[in-house]
Amino acid sequence: MKRYEYDVLVIGAGPGGSMAARFAAKNGAKVLLIEKRPEIGVPVRCAEGISRDWLDMVDIKVDKRWIDQEIEGARIYSPDEESVIELSAEQAGNEVGFVINREYFDKHLASLAVEEGAELWLKSPAVKIIKEDGYVKGAIVRKFGEEVEVRAKIVIAADGYESQVARWAGINTVLRERDIVTCIEYRMTGIDLDERFTHFYIGSCAPGGYLWIFPKGKNEAHVGIGVALNKIKEPGEVKMYLDKFIEEHPNLKKGGPIQIITGAVSVCPVPKRIVGNGIMLVGDAARLIDPITGGGIANASISGMWAGEVAAKCLKNPGEECLSEYQEKVKKKWEKKHLRNWFVKEKLSELDDETLNKLMDVVSEADFKEISVRAILEAVQEKYPELIEEFEDLL
Amino acid sequence: MMKVDPALCNYCGACVGSCPVNCMFLDETRVLIDEDKCIKCGFCIRTCPVGAISADWWSK
């Protein structure tokens, strides 16, 4: 078997992997980035919404080539669609700003890694990791059909939702049923919509999740849905929910799909451990998706950057202790937030349509200076005190 | 026996990431299942957004 040696092996060239490779290389490491697909960014498994506030932090310059639509805000619709809450980009956080084109965006990020000196192999899945003396020391990679041994001081697992590398290495990324959201989305054309906004629909149309319309130009959008696995009984049920919604909305029904995208996301708190001896997890592989929005691109990019930086510092001593600097940074940024959002997600998923309609009615009519969970709850308490019992723990 | 219908499968990996015992593997163009490790929980069957996975032991 052919043998290769690197300082850092990054498995998966999505945003998390490319950023990890870029920043490890930038800080002096000899880096190999591998991708199992024949093309970076394809097939897309994403609704492609991002905010703009984090791009400077990770040194990604906005490039028109990967922006399909600029977004002014988000509109959230009650189950009866009588109430609409409108959030500006600043208030809505994660999911508004741009609808991007991942085919270009992911290639752009991979290019930044290559420019810093990282080597990139396509059509090269990792099939097994190499573990010796309690340390991850590389992986067996099927490089263009040929199995080769890649030795590395540190492996960065950026293999997305599948999160297999972590589990091969003995790090627990198993999800509970209620923390899995299964998704399907059509890229639809010939539809009517207000393309300045992303649109979200909640309630029984998407149990434990939501339905979204993310514009990709004037008459085109991703129309997608995520449903919590604990609310699904039949195989393929999530597709039935989406088809039903489209059937009931003439502005969508008049158009047609030009692409079908599927996938799943985790909606859980930050795991206890995302590093081990010789291994670090980033992005979706580390279960860093926001449990309320399901957004993961920003978190993958930021965690990838930090993992790359810390990896380059720990080459002489790639044990869990040195790598835990990365874990601490991740926890400091997301542990509290994701726990709170996970809790809100759990509560929201138990509310019936009637209750959600009442809640949304209050929220849509209130004039908030600042949208916060507390401000919303106080406004609701005034009009429907009985509803607040559900949320008492949050007040 | 479990089956993945190649006519329906999108190779998205949703089933792989949902498997609690990590007995599935997404190759470039195939989903492979190690049935010796499988605990028959049905997570993959219900997670699959297009209903491409079936098993003779599956009933809801």
Contacts of B4 in chain A (CB under 8 A): none
Cβ neighbourhood burial of B53 (10 Å; 0-12, 13-18, 19+): buried
Contacts of B51 in chain A (CB under 8 A): 234-237, 239
Determine whether the interchain pair B49/A182 forms a contact, defined as Cβ–Cβ distance below 8 Å: yes
Pick the residue of A162, A164, A284 with the most B CBs within 10 A to test the interface with B by mutation. A162
Q: For residues B11-24, give the mean pLDDT.
A: 96
Pairing of strands A31-34, A3-11: parallel
Q: What CATH number did the domain enclosing B43 receive?
A: 3.30.70.20
Report yes or no on B60 lying in a domain: no
Of the pLDDT bands very low, low, confident and very high (cuts 50, 70, 90), residue A378 is confident
Cα–Cα nearest to A212, from A329, A71, A64, A379: A71
Task: Give the whole-angstrom CA distance, residue A377 versus residue A144.
Answer: 56
B49 vs A175, A177, A184: nearest CB:
A184
B60 vs A356 pLDDT, higher one: A356
Of the pLDDT bands very low, low, confident and very high (cuts 50, 70, 90), residue A93 is low
- Torsion of the alpha carbons at A38, A39, A43 and A48, rounded to the nearest 10: 160
Residue extents of the structural domains in chain A = 3-46+103-175+269-340, 73-98+178-266, 351-394
> Residue A23, Cβ neighbours under 10 Å: how many?
26
Say what the ipTM of the complex is. Answer: 0.96
The strands making up A67-70's β-sheet, listed across from edge to edge, are A49-50, A98-100, A67-70
CB A57 within 8 A of CB A51: no
A238 vs B11, B20, B49: nearest CB:
B49
Per the structure block, which two tokens stand in for A355? 């209750």
Give the E-state strand segments of A104-202 in sequence order.
Answer: 119-121, 126-132, 135-143, 146-157, 180-189, 197-201
The strands making up A84-88's β-sheet, listed across from edge to edge, are A84-88, A73-77, A197-201, A210-215, A220-228, A180-189, A256-266
Contacts of B11 in chain A (CB under 8 A): 43
Q: What is the 3-state secondary structure (H, E, C) of A263-287?
A: EEEECCCCCCCCEECCEEECHHHHC
A384 vs A5 pLDDT, higher one: A5
Q: Residues for chain A: how many in total?
A: 395
Per the structure block, which two tokens stand in for A360? 């949304």
For residue B49, what is the nearest residue in chain A, using CA coordinates? A236
Residue A27 has pLDDT above 80, yes or no: yes
Query: Domains in chain B: how many in total?
Result: 1
CB contacts < 8 Å between A and B, how many? 95
Domain interval for residue B43: 2-55
Q: What is the pLDDT, as a whole number, of residue A390?
A: 66
- Torsion of the alpha carbons at A261, A263, A266 and A271, rounded to the nearest 10: -120
Contacts of B7 in chain A (CB under 8 A): none
Report yes or no on B22 lying in a domain: yes
CATH topology of domain A73-98+178-266: D-Amino Acid Oxidase; Chain A, domain 2 (3.30.9)
Pick the residue of A182, A233, A266 with the most B CBs within 10 A to test the interface with B by mutation. A182
Cα–Cα nearest to A33, from A258, A308, A223, A250: A308
Of the pLDDT bands very low, low, confident and very high (cuts 50, 70, 90), residue A58 is very high
Of the pLDDT bands very low, low, confident and very high (cuts 50, 70, 90), residue A285 is very high
Q: What is the pLDDT, as a whole number, of residue A369?
A: 63
CB B52 within 8 A of CB B8: yes
Task: Give the whole-angstrom CA distance, residue A321 versus residue B24.
Answer: 31
Q: What is the pLDDT, as a whole number, of residue A232?
A: 96
Measured CB to CB, residues of chain A less than 8 Å from chain B are: 36-38, 43, 45, 123, 125, 160-164, 167-168, 174-175, 177, 180, 182-184, 229, 232-239, 260-264, 266
Count of CA atoms in the C-beta half-sphere (13 A) of A133: 4
Q: What is the pLDDT, as a whole number, of residue A91?
A: 67
Q: What is the pLDDT of residues A219-278, one digit of tens each?
A: 999 999 999 999 999 999 999 999 999 999 999 999 999 999 999 999 999 999 999 999
Of the pLDDT bands very low, low, confident and very high (cuts 50, 70, 90), residue A328 is very high
Pick the residue of B21, B24, B30, B47 with the most A CBs within 10 A to test the interface with A by mutation. B47
Pick the residue of A35, A143, A164 with the most B CBs within 10 A to test the interface with B by mutation. A164
Contacts of B48 in chain A (CB under 8 A): 182, 235-236
Of the pLDDT bands very low, low, confident and very high (cuts 50, 70, 90), residue A382 is confident
CB A147 within 8 A of CB A140: yes
Q: For residues A81-108, give the mean pLDDT.
A: 84
Region A3-46+103-175+269-340: CATH code: 3.50.50.60
Report yes or no on B11 lying in a domain: yes
Of the pLDDT bands very low, low, confident and very high (cuts 50, 70, 90), residue A95 is low
pTM metric for this prediction: 0.95
